[in-house]
Structure 1
Amino acid sequence: TILAFEKLWEEGKNINLVIVGKQGWFVDELIKKIKEQPLLNQKLFWMNSISDRYLDELYSVCHCLIAPSKGEGFGLPLIEAAQHKLPIIARDLSIFREVAGDYVYYFENDDNPAILANAIENWLNLYRKSKHPKSDQMPWLTWKESADQLVGLMVERQ
């Protein structure tokens, strides 16, 4: 994601990237890349330990959520973004499609930063015309549907 934004910044795009999340396993190279980025705290921001209240504030001021994850367990960030009526750009993963359907702008599941950069540009063009997929229209599961899915998963694994 950082490489995609670096490409966009080099092209003169005036956009910011806010990365939210604590430092986890196997991300030393990413952390190094963030800390060495000349635009850190100017166009690139890393929020590594924030409260739920501050996260809510971020959701209210951001233009979209980018979910570049290559492997996601459930897609919780997409659900949180949709609850905040935030548009979503996501890697084309089956779990994301299962959770968010057509209410997300998907980009090809490829590691080439140009693909994400192009997807962001295409999404921005749609956003300016208000033709982007809108997560605020995403249907929600009822508590019963959620419970039925959970029971189904538990039965499958027995």
Structure 2
Amino acid sequence: MVTETSSYEFTADTARIDPARVHGLLAEYAYWAAGRPRELQDRAIANSRNYGILAASGELIGYARVVTDLANFAWLADVIVDPHHRRRGLARELIRFVLADLRPYDLRRIVLKASPEGRGLYEELGWKRLDDPDDWLGLGPDA
């Protein structure tokens, strides 16, 4: 695969991330976010570390967010790239960008719930299955 990311900008500046566009990308292309109301997505953005990919035009074409305490734990979520910009290595570079941003915090664990189509990419980048995933518990309607 050819990686072509030079005409894109990666940002961690939430002021440059358009919440309406994030919601649109997730609502249209992310099965895990289907039906998520805009106000809920806006709250998630407001309470997370946010990362975007901007096209040369300034349009947001990719997004990821991280929920973290910046001490021990982080959860990578809502990784999405507009289908019109896929197959250019952008998701891979976005994940690398996120991890580089988190590196100074020396987090003990970063987790994610990989989609079937994303699993291979995450594994290529060094992510591994948890040793004891059955030890993780959840509370709430989606647990």
Category of TM-score, reference length = shorter chain: 0.3 to 0.5
Q: TM-score, normalised by structure 1?
A: 0.31
**Higher gyration radius (CA):** 1
Question: Is the helix fraction higher in 1 or 2?
Answer: 1
